Amino acid sequence: MSLIVLKPGLQSTIQDLGRYNYSHFGISASGAADPLSLKIGNLIVGNKESASAIEMTIIGGEFQFDSECYIAIAGSEFEASLDNNYITNQKAIDVKKGQILSFGQAKTGARAYLCIQGGIDVDNYLSSKSTHILSGIGGYLGQPISKGDILSFGINKNSIKPIIFRQLLDMNTSKIRIISGLQSNFFDDKAWSSFISNPFTVSNSSNRMGIRLDGNKILSNIESEIITEGVPLGAIQVPGSGDPIISFVEHQTTGGYPKIANVIIADIHKVGQLKPGDKFQFNLVSKEEAEELRLEQMSFIKNLKNND
């Protein structure tokens, strides 16, 4: 069972929930930019939440199927049709042999996931199917998919019962919650107040490695570099230029810029839905609250699996 890529879209990659235990070789986890949507899309077609899917960015692709299968689209809403009939997100759709699935532009957010029953079947590289574009590894030949690629799917059939998902996820990206970062004390009250009370705009040079922000300059009153140390997912680094960068799924494993703050893990999926030109504001929460929100999000997914 396979599909052929008729149009790849702007940047479409194979993603699962990421590659772990290799950051001490300089390989960050990568994985879905909006992991929450990937999980939900997978559960709707009866996959394990971690199965591999096609992540599309801003402009979706066009795919023809050579056999019948179940699919679901999750994440942001794109213009989407199956043989010219409009289709909607977060519903299991029965695709027949020969049908063409077409995506246009994202109507909201930035990324959608095409989840197929049984997952996309590419070789594992270091225990994951996630593409890490900057390292040129994983997924399909270590790069975004192109026209003419043939992707197999449906090998990993499993017996999980598909869920029906009728809730609306909070995809509001106008506020992104943060906790203070390892070098938050490098920035005085004035810098902090500017950081959390003014909006930032997502720059055009953003990618899966980092979301670059334009707005008020945030300047350190101590130093603009530190002894290189580990960089966590969601770390907001501030280089000497004063324009913050959110370290995203393909982030560098270590870095030498001070980190003013860190996006909370429960809001990482929202960062994955930011696109160039979007405006948003940071909202500071406590570390305890951030951890509770993360655990709540994990139980939310667990309960979806158990209750259905």
Partner 1 sequence: MISYPKIIPASDSALIVYFGDIISYDLHRKVFILTKYLIDNPKNDIINIHPAYNSVMVSIEPSSRLSKTQEYLNKIIHDIDNIEIANEISEVEIPVVYGGEFGPDLDKVAKHCGLSIDEVIKQHSSAEYLVYFIGFSIGFPYLGGMDNSLATPRLEIPRKSVPKGAVAIAGSQTGIYPLSSPGGWNLIGRTPNSIFNVDNPKESMLKMGDILRFKSINTEEYEATFL
Contact segment (CB under 8 A) with partner 1 among 77-85, 114-122, 185-193, 298-306 equals 298-306
CA distance 31 to 13: 10
With CB under 8 A as the contact rule, the residue among 10, 126, 141, 171 that binds partner 1 is 126
CA distance 45 to 258: 42
Distance of CA 59 to the CA centre of its chain: 15
CB of 79 to partner 1, least distance (A): 32
Under rule CB under 8 A, residue 155 binds partner 1: no
CA distances from 113 to 89, 146, 149, 151, 175 (A): 10, 17, 18, 15, 23
CB of 235 to partner 1, least distance (A): 7
Contact (Cβ atoms closer than 8 angstroms) between residue 60 and residue 103: yes
Write out the two tokens for 245.
């960068």
For residues 192 and 300, which CB has a smaller minimum distance to partner 1 in the complex? 300
Under rule CB under 8 A, residue 240 binds partner 1: no
Write out the two tokens for 144.
């975004």
Under rule CB under 8 A, residue 1 binds partner 1: no
Of 8, 23, 98, 10, nearest to 250 by C-alpha is: 23
Under rule CB under 8 A, residue 45 binds partner 1: no
With CB under 8 A as the contact rule, the residue among 133, 233, 238, 246 that binds partner 1 is 233
Binding mask 252-271 for partner 1 (x = CB under 8 A): xxxx------x-xx------
Q: What is the DSSP letter of 128?
A: B
Q: What is the DSSP letter of 59?
A: B
Write out the two tokens for 47.
């996959």
Under rule CB under 8 A, residue 230 binds partner 1: yes
CB of 229 to partner 1, least distance (A): 4
Contact segment (CB under 8 A) with partner 1 among 58-66, 86-94, 157-165, 295-303 equals 295-303
User: Does the CA dihedral 131-13-153-91 come out positive or negative?
Assistant: positive
Contact segment (CB under 8 A) with partner 1 among 67-75, 83-91, 99-107, 293-301 equals 293-301
For residues 111 and 251, which CB has a smaller minimum distance to partner 1 in the complex? 251
Under rule CB under 8 A, residue 220 binds partner 1: no
With CB under 8 A as the contact rule, the residue among 112, 116, 137, 163 that binds partner 1 is 137
Residues recorded for the chain: 308
Residues between 83 and 102 with contacts to partner 1, criterion CB under 8 A: none
CA distance 31 to 282: 24
Residues between 7 and 26 with contacts to partner 1, criterion CB under 8 A: 20-26
Distance of CA 176 to the CA centre of its chain: 15
Write out the two tokens for 146.
């192109």
For residues 34 and 63, which CB has a smaller minimum distance to partner 1 in the complex? 34
What's the one-letter identity of residue 224? S
With CB under 8 A as the contact rule, the residue among 144, 234, 244, 258 that binds partner 1 is 234
Contact segment (CB under 8 A) with partner 1 among 8-16, 132-140, 159-167, 270-278 equals 132-140
Phi-psi region of 184 (alpha: psi -120 to 50; beta: other; left: phi over 0): alpha
Give the SS3 label for residue 62: strand
Contact positions vs partner 1 (CB under 8 A): 20-27, 29, 126, 132, 134-137, 179, 182, 227-235, 252-255, 262, 264-265, 287, 290-291, 293-295, 298-299, 302
